[in-house]
Amino acid sequence: MLKQRKLSSKPLPTISKREFARRREQLMEQMETNSIAILPSASAVIRNRDAEFKYRQDSDFHYLTGFNEPDSVLVLIPGRHHGQCLFFCRERDPERELWDGYRQGPEGLCNNFGADDAFPISDIDDILPGLLEGRDRVYYSMGKRLEFDKRIMGWVNVLRAKARSGAHPPGEFSDLDHIVHDMRLYKSAAELRIMQQAASISADAHTRAMKFCRPGMMEYELEAEYLHEFASRGAQAAAYNSIVGAGKNACILHYVDNSSIIQDGDLVLIDAGCELNYYAADITRTFPANGLFSREQQALYEVVLASQQAALETITPGGHWNQSHDATVSVITQGLLDLGILQGELTELIEAEAYRPFYMHRAGHWLGMDVHDVGDYKVHDEWRVLESGMVMTVEPGIYIAADNQSVAAKWRGIGIRIEDDVAVTATGHQVLTEEVIKTVDDIHQLMRPMAAKRGSIDPAQVDFISDDGQYSAQENSSAKTPSVRNSKPSGQAKPVLKASAKKKSIAKKKTTAKKKISTKKKLTAKKKAAVKRKTAVKKKVLVKKKTVAKKSAVKKKAAVKKTAVVKKKTAVKKKAAAKSRPKSPVKKRGKVKNKR
C-alpha cells in the first residue's frame, strides 16, 4: 500500500495588507517635508520572439505594495490632504484579460491594496507633472530603468521651462534605494515566518535529492527533484538557477549547465533554494554520489564544516559583518596547512591570502526578497554591526580545480561548499535551515541505506519518499480491476469463495515455510563456504611464510659460502706476494763494532 504524503492543513504564511501600509508609512516618515517618492513596477520581459518570461515583480515595489502587475507606478506624497498613496495602473480590459489574466484596475487598487487614489497608466503624462510641481525633493532610484528615467527628466524639464510663468520644479533628487533597502534589511516577524517556511521546503528538497542520488544519474535529474519538491509544497519558483555540480563541476562557483553524468566516487555540490511569496531560501550541501566519502573528500569536508561552525559562533547582536568571514579564513587556512596543501606560517599565509586559490569568495551575504539581498555591508567605512532581524547566509567552501598542478593529484577535482540561512536574534542567532543534515555520519546514515534499498528503481516511477526512506512507486490505476469481493455474489457462491480463500491461505503458509527452509539452507551453505574460504586463506598464508623462510635461509648460506671463498682467495694472494718480495741484506753488529 502506498504511503501518501501528509498534506499540511496550515495555509502558507503571507504578508498582511496592514504590514504593507505600515511600510509605506515608515518610508514617508523618513522623507523630507514637501517631497515626493516615485517607484515604477518591473516590466514584462521577452524570453524569445513573442514568448515572455513568467512575470516577477520588482522586489522594492512588492515590498511597499504587495501589488504584482506590470505597467504600474507608486507615488507617495507625505502630508497631501487629498491622499498620500497614489497608484497608476492598467485599466480593466475584458478582451486582454481573456488572454493575459485578471487585472485589478484603479478601482481594485483602492479597494484591495490601500490606495488613496488610483489612475490609469495612460494618464500618467497628464497627472504626474502636476504632482511634481511645487515639491522640493524627488525620491527616485535613477539608473535602474532608463526609459522611465527619461520620462521623469522630461516631466521635470517641462516644469523648468515654465519657471518664468511661476512653475516651481523640484530642486533636488535623492536615492530612494537608500531608505527602502535599509528598511528591507530588518525582517519583521511575518517575514521571518515566510523565510522559515521557504527554508523548510528547501531543506526537504535537499534531503530528497540525497535519498534519490545514485551514480549514473544526470545532474538535471537531481535538479528535477528539487523543482518537484518546491512546486508540490507551494513555492512559486526556484529563487535562482539551481547549481548541481558533480565531480570537477563542483569547483565552478556558478555552474548551472547541470548536464553531466554523476560518476561513482563523485562529490555532488547542490546550491538550491525556493522562493515563497517573494522571499528566498539559499542552501548548499555537498555529498558523495555513492553515499560514502573517500578519505581525501572527508578530510576537506571536515575542514569546511568546522569553518562554518566557527563562523556561526560569531553571529550575535553587536558583532560585525566580517567576523564570520574572518573565522572561516582562519579555520580553512589552518586545515589546508594540516593537510599539506599549504606550507608556511598561519598568520603569514592569511596576510598573503594564500588560501584564495582554494577559497575565493566571501563567507556569506544578506538574504531576503532577493537571494543576494539589499543592504549596506559597511556604514561610514566600518563593517556593519549585526542587529536582530537581519538574515544572512554562511557558506564557506574549498575548491581544488582538476587542473591545479600545485597540489597532489589526490586532491584535484574536489569542490565542497556548505551553506545555511541564519537569522540574527535578540540573544544570538537561529539557523533557519538546520533541518537538512550536514555531518559526515548523518550523511552516511541517510545515504548508505538508501543505496542498498534503491536497487534499480527509476526515480521517474517514484511518487515521493517517506520520512523513513521507503520508496512509494506510482500505482497503475488500470491494474485495479474490480475484484470478486467488490462484486455482489449470489448466496450460493459464498461458500465457494470461503473455500477458495482457505486454499489460498494454506498455499501461502506452505510457500512461506518452504522459503524459510530454503533461506536456512542457503545461510548454512554460505557459512560453510565462508569457513572454507577462511581456512584456505590461512593455509595459503602459512605456505607463503614457509617458502619465504626457506628462501631466506638459502640466501644466508650462499652469503656465508661467498664470504669464506673471498677470505681464502685473499689469504692465498698475501702468501704469494710475500714469497715474490726480494730479501734485504742483514748487517752484522759484531763486525761493525770490531771495525770501530
Q: Which residues are catalytic?
A: 50, 254, 271, 282, 361, 365, 372, 395, 399, 417, 419
Please answer whether residues 289 and 270 qualify as being in contact, where contact means their C-beta atoms are separated by less than 8 angstroms: no
- 22 closest CA partner among 137, 111, 114, 118: 114
In this structure, what C-alpha cell is assigned to residue 260? 553531466
Please answer whether residues 233 and 275 qualify as being in contact, where contact means their C-beta atoms are separated by less than 8 angstroms: no
Rg (CA), the chain: 40
For cell 491494474, the residue is 479
Q: At what angle do helices 17-30 and 176-185 cross, to 10 degrees?
A: 130
The beta strand positions in 369-443, using DSSP E, are 378-379, 382-383, 391-394, 397-400, 414-417, 420-424, 429-431
> What H or E segment, with its residue span, contains residue 437?
none
Q: In terms of DSSP H, where are the helices of 313-430?
A: 323-338, 346-351
In this structure, what C-alpha cell is assigned to residue 202? 528547501
Phi, psi at 154, each rounded to 5°: -65, -45
In this structure, what C-alpha cell is assigned to residue 34? 514637501
In this structure, what C-alpha cell is assigned to residue 97? 484579460
Q: HEC states along 157-184?
A: HHHHHCHHHCCCCCCEEECHHHHHHHHH
Specify the 3-state DSSP secondary structure of 16.
coil
Q: HEC states along 190-207?
A: HHHHHHHHHHHHHHHHHH
Looking at residue 347, its amino acid is T
In this structure, what C-alpha cell is assigned to residue 27? 518610508
3-state helix, strand, coil in the chain (%, to 5): 45, 15, 40
The beta strand positions in 78-169, using DSSP E, are 85-89, 117-120, 137-139
DSSP-derived secondary structure for 52-67:
EPPP---HHHHHHH--
Q: Strands 429-431 and 420-424: what pairing? A: antiparallel
Q: Identify the sign of the CA torsion 124, 125, 127, 129.
A: positive
Please answer whether residues 467 and 435 qualify as being in contact, where contact means their C-beta atoms are separated by less than 8 angstroms: no
- 86 closest CA partner among 142, 148, 130: 130
In this structure, what C-alpha cell is assigned to residue 240? 535562482
104, HSE (Cβ side, Cα atoms, 13 Å): 23
54, HSE (Cβ side, Cα atoms, 13 Å): 3
> What H or E segment, with its residue span, contains residue 48?
strand 46-48
In this structure, what C-alpha cell is assigned to residue 266? 563523485
How far is Cα 20 from Cα 39, in angstroms, rounded to an integer?
15
Could you report how far apart the first and last alpha carbons of the chain are, in Å?
136
